[in-house]
Amino acid sequence: MPTTIDLEAVSRAPVSREPYDYVLGSNVLRSEVIDDLRRDFPPIEKSGYLTVDEVTLKGRFKTLIEELEGPDFTEALSQKFGRDLHPYPRLTTIMKRSATKHGNPHTDGEAKIMTTLVYMNDAWESDGGGRLRVLYGMDVDKFATEVPPTMGTFFSFLRSDKSWHGHRPFAGERKVVQIAWVQNEAELERKKKRNAMAQMLKGVFGS
């Protein structure tokens, strides 16, 4: 069975240093597995991110998650950024639906070391809504580049006080897998519990 991730796509993607360290690349998902990934993407109804523990994984999508959490992908990114990511535990979350409240500019908390986003949408309008931007600050309209959330696009960045990112409001289907390397196991468990609590509150009070 062929791998789901093309690690050569990670190797080929250039590293940008301004306004912070990030990599934007394409075709990280092998073309021959795309149909299977579409079929096996979890049927999530809630908006926002769910941890992999909260979602039923199957088929090729389950294989994708295993590869994203595996040592080979971590090694490829370690080589790309010149930082050993292997000691850090990973938090993997999945989004199928976005709400207009998502995407406000932020830098991520200090507990995160690095984040990677792998997008899985067949097409995307070019009006800016839902397209992640590499920002210079809190202004979503002042950006260095824009990330098309289309199938196989990936975006990785090292967290810093300058790692501003966000997107203009969008509500609807926006499929993405996020892998965050975090400081330690305690932070990993804290983030899992916080995410589960947020989803529970959505169930009680609505999104």
pLDDT at 110: 92
In a domain, 2, yes or no: no
Per-residue b or e along 165-188, where b marks 16 or more CB atoms closer than 10 Å to that residue's CB = bbbbebeeebbbbbbbbbeeeebb
Answer yes or no: are the C-beta atoms of 119 and 150 closer than 8 Å.
yes
As beta bridge partners, residue 3 has: none
Q: Give the model's pLDDT for residue 83.
A: 96
Q: Could you tell me if residue 101 is inside a domain?
A: yes
Residue 201 belongs to domain spanning:
7-205
Q: What CATH number should be reported for the domain holding residue 50?
A: 2.60.120.620
Determine, yes or no, domain membership for 116: yes
What pLDDT sits at residue 204? 42
What pLDDT shows up at residue 197? 60
pLDDT averaged per 10 residues in sequence order, the chain, 207 residues: 92 97 98 97 93 94 97 97 96 95 94 97 87 97 96 98 96 96 83 64 49
What pLDDT does 186 receive?
Answer: 81
Please tell me the distance from the alpha carbon of residue 86 to that of residue 64, in angstroms, as a whole number: 18
Predicted model pTM: 0.91
pLDDT, residue 200, reads 53
> What is the phi/psi pair of residue 59, to 5°?
55, -140
> What's residue 2's pLDDT?
80
Between the CA atoms of 182, 88, 177 and 154, what dihedral angle is there, to the nearest 10 degrees? 110
Question: Which tokens hold the place of 102?
Answer: 């998502």
What pLDDT score does 190 carry?
81
Task: Assess if residue 1 is contained within a domain.
Answer: no
Asked if residue 155 lies in contact with residue 117, where contact means CB atoms within 8 angstroms, the answer is: yes
Q: What is the pLDDT of residue 194?
A: 73
Measure the CA–CA gap between 205 and 201, rounded to whole angstroms. 6
Total number of domains constituting the chain: 1
User: How many angstroms separate the CA atoms of 193 and 41, rounded?
Assistant: 23
Residue 89 covered by a domain: yes
Q: Residue 188 has what pLDDT? A: 74
The per-residue pLDDT for 187 is 76
pLDDT of 185 reads: 81
Residue 193 buriedness (CB in 10 A; 0-12 / 13-18 / 19+): exposed
Q: In whole angstroms, what is the distance from residue 172 CA to residue 33 CA?
A: 24
Preceding amide of 19 cis, omega within 30: yes
Identify whether 154 is part of a domain: yes
